[in-house]
């Protein structure tokens, strides 16, 4: 085996979700035809929205990127090889020998994958010392190279853009539960695309109505999801409980997610019978309307020089009106998705 094998053309895709950003180049390297909107629609990022008040910006992708993803990843047409270690009070601690064994097996799997031209995905592949020195490779990153002599991986991350190396057995201790997780792509398997698309639409409706997951079970605590999250955001704006920067960040991420929602619905619409296809196309138009409202909100935020202040009274009212408009469009889009599901032939459900 070669001393070193680099995947020069592979890099994470841009976007807020580090899972989608690393999964996309992995699948692309394997020759799979998955667009970013299709991935975000399938896993749910495109249709989600969460809100919590009081602790800074909301990590919109968290509960999908390292929790709900496990529901969907078995259904996208590939086997996946997962290597995980969790150190917390809920589970007995693995022995040092068990930890080393898992990391050794991971090393062999990752090397084999890179030799095939396919990157692996790793959770926060940085040592504590690297993190403390300024490496901010939080979330998922791509393992694109290895050095047999140094026993290191080369890491590329979509937000921390400086490529770096990490010892293969020295990461997995930079988050609260000491999660070590590396995912490799296995063999191709049958994909029921229609069933997966229907499931993604059902999940879109569940996100909107706040039933996709129970808030008390979420590993990343939020106060509300879906329509209720919009209402909570609006109330916080009305009271002056959130600053301009908080709202601008939430609006920018929502803008990205709903662009993916509209694109995903247009991508899959022609796969369905005519009545369902029309309803999905109509839903995409309503997401376009929502995006227009969100862009207005971003522009209102950009008019403020200080992002750490609350909105002036006049701007606050405009912001509330725009969130109302975005929510109204969101509700119309979801109604159309519900209609699309309702008119599906019984054999498709």
| Segment 242-269, tens digit of pLDDT | 999 999 999 999 999 999 999 999 999 9
Percent of the chain with pLDDT over 90: 86
Residue 312, sorted as left (phi over 0), alpha (psi -120 to 50) or beta, turns out to be beta
With 50 as the cut, is the pLDDT of residue 326 above it?
A: yes
- Structural domains in the chain? 1-27+78-189 (no CATH), 193-348 (1.20.120)
Residue 61, CA distances (Å) to 112, 133, 222, 254 in order: 30, 26, 11, 11
Mean pLDDT value of segment 48-70: 92
CA dihedral 239, 245, 247, 252 (to 10 degrees): 180
Q: Please provide the average confidence, as pLDDT, over all residues in the chain.
A: 94
Token pair 């709900």 is found at 68
Q: Please determine, for residue 302, whether its predicted confidence score (pLDDT) is greater than 50.
A: yes
For the stretch 60-106, pLDDT in tens is: 999 999 999 999 999 999 999 999 998 766 667 789 999 999 999 99
- The predicted model scores a pTM of 0.94
């Amino acid at each position: 085996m070669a001393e070193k094998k680099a995947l020069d053309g592979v890099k994470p895709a841009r976007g807020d979700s580090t899972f989608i950003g690393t999964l996309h180049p992995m699948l692309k390297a394997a020759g799979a035809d998955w667009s970013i909107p299709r991935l975000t629609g399938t896993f749910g990022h495109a249709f989600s929205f969460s809100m919590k008040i009081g602790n800074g910006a909301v990590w919109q992708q968290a509960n999908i990127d390292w929790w709900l993803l496990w529901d969907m990843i078995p259904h996208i047409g590939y086997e996946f090889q997962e290597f995980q270690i969790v150190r917390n009070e809920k589970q007995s601690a693995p022995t040092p020998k068990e930890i080393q064994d898992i990391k050794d097996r991971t090393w062999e799997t990752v090397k084999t994958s890179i030799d095939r031209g396919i990157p692996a995905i790793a959770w926060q592949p940085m040592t504590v010392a690297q993190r403390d020195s300024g490496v901010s490779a939080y979330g998922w990153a791509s393992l694109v190279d290895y050095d047999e002599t140094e026993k290191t991986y080369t890491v590329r991350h979509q937000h921390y853009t400086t490529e770096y190396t990490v010892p293969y057995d020295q990461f997995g201790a930079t988050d609260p539960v000491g999660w070590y997780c590396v995912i490799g792509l296995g063999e191709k398997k049958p994909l029921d695309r229609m069933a997966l698309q229907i499931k993604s639409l059902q999940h879109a409706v569940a996100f909107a109505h706040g039933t996709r997951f129970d808030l008390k079970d979420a590993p990343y605590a939020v106060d509300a999801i879906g329509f209720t999250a919009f209402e909570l955001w609006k109330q916080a704006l009305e009271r002056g409980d959130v600053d301009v920067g908080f709202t601008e960040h939430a609006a920018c991420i929502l803008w990205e997610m709903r662009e993916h929602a509209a694109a995903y619905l247009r991508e899959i619409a022609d796969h369905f019978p005519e009545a369902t296809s029309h309803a999905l196309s109509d839903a995409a138009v309503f997401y376009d309307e929502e995006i227009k409202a969100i862009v207005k909100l971003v522009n209102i935020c950009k008019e403020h020089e200080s992002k750490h202040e609350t909105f002036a009274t006049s701007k606050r009212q405009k912001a509330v009106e725009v969130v109302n408009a975005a929510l109204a469009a969101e509700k119309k889009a979801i109604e159309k998705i519900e209609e699309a599901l309702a008119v599906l032939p019984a054999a498709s459900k």
